[in-house]
Amino acid sequence: MAANNSVNPAAWLAKQIETGDPDMLRSMVKTMADALMSAEADTLCGAGYGERSDDRVNHRNGYRPREWDTRAGTV
């Protein structure tokens, strides 16, 4: 069964506000960037993460951790 990588924005934001995360903006940037990159990879591969499809034209072969410097901080 494929993993569900989707984020419920309302629930995520409510959790961030509840916990009083001082780096909320940085967390939001990270979450959005991860979601956008995953969606782009899904489109390029022709199937979602962990999903099998006859239309699949590519494979995800992992990732490597890397930092991204933004105005909100390093993500």
| Alpha-carbon span 30 to 66, nearest angstrom | 12
What mean pLDDT comes out for the span 35-56? 80
**What distances in angstroms separate CA 43 from CA 26, 27, 37, 48, 70, one per listed residue?**
26, 24, 10, 8, 25
What pTM value is reported for the model?
0.57
pLDDT for 5 equals 63
Residue 1 has a pLDDT of 44
What is the per-residue pLDDT across 1-45, written as a single tens digit (0 to 9) for each? 455 667 787 887 788 777 776 677 788 888 888 888 888 888 888
